[in-house]
Amino acid sequence: NDSVPSFPAGFNLDNILAVAAIDRADKLASFSNFGRNSVHLGAPGVQIFSTSSRSDNAYTALDGTSMATPHVAGAAALLLARYPDASVLELRQRLLTTVAPTPALATTTLSGGRLDAAAALRALDDAGDPLDRLDDHPGHLVVEGGFQRGDVGERQEAHVAVAGRVLVAVAPGHA
């Protein structure tokens, strides 16, 4: 993403988090977005058990940054449930400063790590107190990743609002 921007991740805005896909061994997926200056953190995105459009009760294992992005959006939603007055910048800071350091992401993402939702929920402020005195600043946090449809490699774009405050933007990814 540093050399060939993907949008909205390519915008240099404080309310955007770009997500890389990693596998079960914490390795960067071959298809994933990456960029030391443009991709913020990694999350599981290989062989993710998900619903399928084949029928109302079909499931399949899928790969993609579109499988990684919902992990980050879900963590942001959990944080908003715990800290409903959190600003977008506070959510972003908490998600990025509590990643689990991951060697494969050390030089391929800004944070150098993968999402750690439990650590984000346990994070303390500089005084050692739980970060539960957060200010209320309205806004949206955009969590971005690429989407590859099924086996055909078709790229699509989707936008989903979660809890009225978190916007998940899934857009084409580039290496």
Confidence of residue 151 (pLDDT cuts 50, 70, 90): very low
Q: What is the pLDDT of residue 115?
A: 97
Percent of the chain with pLDDT strictly greater than 90: 47
Q: Please give the average per-residue pLDDT across 28-42, as a whole number.
A: 93
AA identity, residue 12: N
Q: Which residue has the tokens 């971005």?
A: 144
Nearest to 125 by CA among 144, 100, 97: 97
Asked if 130 and 124 touch (Cβ cutoff 8 Å), the reply is yes
Give the model confidence (pLDDT) of 50-87 as tens digits. Answer: 998 888 899 999 999 999 999 999 999 999 888 888 88
Cβ count near 4 (within 10 Å): 11
Does 138 score more than 70 pLDDT?
no
Q: What is d(CA 47, CA 36) in angstroms, rounded to the nearest whole number?
A: 25
Mean pLDDT, rounded, for 30-40: 92
In this predicted structure, the answer to whether residue 168 has a pLDDT above a threshold of 60 is no
CA distances from residue 136 to 77, 88, 131, 140 in whole angstroms, order as listed: 15, 9, 13, 12
Which residue did the predictor score with more confidence, 100 or 10?
A: 100
Top pLDDT among 24 and 126 is at: 24
Q: Distance between CA 66 and CA 144 in Å, rounded?
A: 8
Higher-scoring residue by pLDDT: 167, 144: 144
**Length of the chain counted residue by residue:** 175
Give CA–CA dist 114/145, Å, rounded. 14
